Amino acid sequence: MQETEAKKRIKELREITAYHAKRYYDDDAPEISDFEYDMLMNELKNLERQFPELISADSLTQKVGGTVKEGFEKVTHEVPLQSLQDVFSFEEVIEFDKRIQEQAKQFDATVQYVVETKIDGLSASLEYKQGKFVRGATRGNGQIGEDVTENLKTIKTIPQTLQEAIDITVRGEVFIGKEEFEKLNAERELQDEPLFANSRNAAAGSLRQLDSNITKTRPLDIFIFNVQKCDSKQFVSHYESLNYLSKIGFNVVPTRTLCNTIEEAINVIKEIGENREKLSFGIDGAVIKVDNLELREKIGTTFKTPKWAIAYKYPPEQKETKINDIICQVGRTGAITPLAILEPIKVAGSTISKTTLHNEDFIKEKDIRIGDTVVIQKAGDVIPEIVEVKKEKRTGEEKIFEMPRVCPVCGAPTVREEGEAVTRCIGIECSAVQLRSIAHFASKEGMDINGLGMAIVEELINNGLIKNIADIYKLTLEQVASLKKNGTKFAQNLIDAIEVSKNNDLSKLINGLGIRHLGTKTSKLLAKKYKNIDAIMNAELEELSMIDDIGPVIADSIYNFFAQEQTKDLIEKLKSAGVNMEYKGEIEDERFAGKTFVLTGSLEKYSRDEASEIIERFGGKTSSSVSKKTTYVLAGEEAGSKLTKAEELGITVITEKEFEEMIK
C-alpha cells in the first residue's frame, strides 16, 4: 500500500473506531460486535506500524477509549488504569514470549506467567484506608475516571471492611453474570423497556447511573484482578498478590493459573476457550501476565499498555447452515420477533437450531430468505447470530419472508408504529401477553389491587386459575388460598382488595388496560372528558386527535385499541363483574383553577402521582416541562434542569412545605 492510500485509510479507521468506541464506552450502546471492532483496531495498528510517521496522539491506538461522564466527580488515578495489547493468534503469543525472554535475560530473571480469564465488563478501582472502602472509580480514559463510590457500595461482593486494616487500591472488573443478564432483560421486556445489547453494556450502564437507587436494582458483581497500590505491603509475584487479596476478603478472578512456560500458558488459554460455555460469566479473552513484579517494573509500559501483558482474543467460531423456516414468537409485551429455524449445527460447544432475526429491518438489510444458506457465529459467548447470507448458493427456491399482519397467537391486528423497528400484537386478550397485561392491570398505576404482584399473577396463570384480566374478578377464596401453605389470611386480603378495586375511578381502569402510549395523566384526561367507558369506545379518531395533550399517535392508539373485538369482549366481562365504568373525580374547590404546576426532584411526603392528583382535585393542571405558561414549580430534593429553567424564566418556585400550606 502506498503512503497516500494508507493515510486515507488510517483517517477513515480513526473516525470509525472513535465513533464505535464512543458507542461502546460512553453510550453503552454498541452497534457492532467486539470482534468487528477488534478487527478495525487491528487494521489501524498494523497500518500505523507500517507507516509510523502517520501516528498521531488522537488515534485510539495511543489512548484508552473511554471518557468521563458529565454528572460524576472526576478521580485522578494514582496508578493509571491501562488497557491491554490484544493478540489474535498463538503465533503472536509466542512472539510476545520471545520479547519477554530476551528482556528477562538482560536482568538474569526467570519468566513465569499467570493466565486469567478476561472478564467482559467495566474496569474499576477500589480504594481502602485502614481496611475501609473509601472510594471507587471507573477507568475513564485511564488517567481520570468517574467517582462511582455510592454505586459500587451496592455490589454485595465488594467488602466494605477488609480482614486486615490495610491501605490498598485494587482493580477489578464489574460485570453481570449470564443467568442474571437473561433475567434482567426478561424483566425489562415485561416493563416494555428497551433490552440491553449485551451483559457488558448492561453492567457499564448500571454502574454509571447518576442515581445509585437504580444501580441497586441491577445484579452487578465484581472480580478483582490486580493490586494497583499498596505501600504497607510488598509482593514478589502477581500470583502471590491475588492469593492475598482473596485471603483479606476480595472476590478475586476465579481462573488464575501459574505457568512455567509459554506452552503451558497456551494450553491454559485453549482449555479456557473449550470450557467458556460452562462459565457463569461472560469473557472476551484470556490474559497472559508476567508474574514477577520486579521484572515487570524493568520491562515497563507504554503510555497506553503494559509491555509485560497481552490479551488473547478468541476468534468467534463460524459455521454454515441452512434456514429451514422463519417463525414468529410473541413476547410478553406483544413484540413479535421473527426466529430462524436452522439445520442444527454445533458452534462454540453448543448445538444451534434457531436464532433471532430481531425485526423486519434486520431481515431486509441482510436479505434473509427461507431456504438460504447462512453463516452463523456465537456473539458475546451467548447469543447465536447470522453474520452473512451465502447468496451465491441460492437455487431460486428460496422464499421472501413478510411479517404477519395478524398475531400468530390470537389473530388480533399487528402494528408497526412510525419510528419503531418492532411489530406488535395489540390484542388485550392475547395469551402471549397475559402475564404482563394482568400484572399491569393490578399495579398501583392501574387498579391498585394490593397483593396481586407479578409473582402471584404468574402462579395464578400457571395453575390455570386465570387466563385474562376479567378472570381476576372470578377468583374465589379457596382458589387463592391453595397457592400458599396456610394461605387463608393472604387469600382473604387479596379477595378484599379485588372487591375494593371494583369501585375505582374510570381513570384507574383506563390506565390499567395498558393502552400503548397512555399513562396516568392521559387516562385522567380521557375519563374527565368522556365521563364513561362507552363514550370513549364510541369516540371517533378525528375527535380524539383534537383533544389537548393528545396527539395523532396517542389518538390512533386509543382508537385502534377500543375498535378491537377483544377489547369490547373484555369491557363487557368487567361490566358483568361489577367494575365501575364511570368518572368519579370531583374537584373539591377551584383554588388552583387556571394554574399549571411542574414537579421536579424528590418530594418527602408525596409521590409525583399523589401530588398531581391533589393539584387536579383543586382544579389545577400539571405539566412535564417548564414554560412561560407555568405558574409554579414544586421542587423537591435533587431538583434538576427544570428548576434551573424556572429560575431563568422567573417562574415561582415553591417547596413541599409551601405546597402543604396551599392545600390546607
Active centre residues (catalytic): 118
| The three grid cell numbers given for residue 106, joined into one nine-digit string | 538482560
Residues contacting residue 349 through CB under 8 Å, at least 6 positions apart: 274, 276, 277
| The three grid cell numbers given for residue 281, joined into one nine-digit string | 460469566
Q: Is 119 helix (H, G, I), strand (E, B) or coil?
A: strand
DSSP category for residue 25: I
Give the count of alpha carbons within 13 A of 648, CB side only: 7
C-alpha span between 518 and 525 (Å, rounded): 10
166 in Cβ contact with 130 (< 8 Å): yes
Residue located via cell numbers 460447544? 349
| The three grid cell numbers given for residue 603, joined into one nine-digit string | 418530594
DSSP category for residue 184: H
- What are the start-end ranges of the H helices in 303-428? 360-366
Q: Is 175 helix (H, G, I), strand (E, B) or coil?
A: strand
What backbone phi and psi angles, to 5 degrees, belong to 347?
-135, 125
* Strands 414-415, 423-425: pairing kind: antiparallel
| The three grid cell numbers given for residue 293, joined into one nine-digit string | 513484579
- Strands (DSSP E) contained in 163-300 are 168-175, 221-229, 256-259, 283-290
| The three grid cell numbers given for residue 86, joined into one nine-digit string | 490484544
145 in Cβ contact with 65 (< 8 Å): no
Q: Please report, for residues 142, 144, 223, 259, 461, the alpha-carbon distance to residue 82 in angstroms, rounded to integers and kept in the order given.
A: 6, 11, 17, 23, 51
| The three grid cell numbers given for residue 446, joined into one nine-digit string | 392501574
CA dihedral (87, 92, 97, 100) positive or negative: negative
83 in Cβ contact with 305 (< 8 Å): yes
C-alpha span between 357 and 328 (Å, rounded): 10
Give the count of alpha carbons within 13 A of 553, CB side only: 8
DSSP-based helix, strand, coil % in the chain, nearest 5: 40, 20, 40
First to last CA, the chain: 80
Residue located via cell numbers 460524576? 72
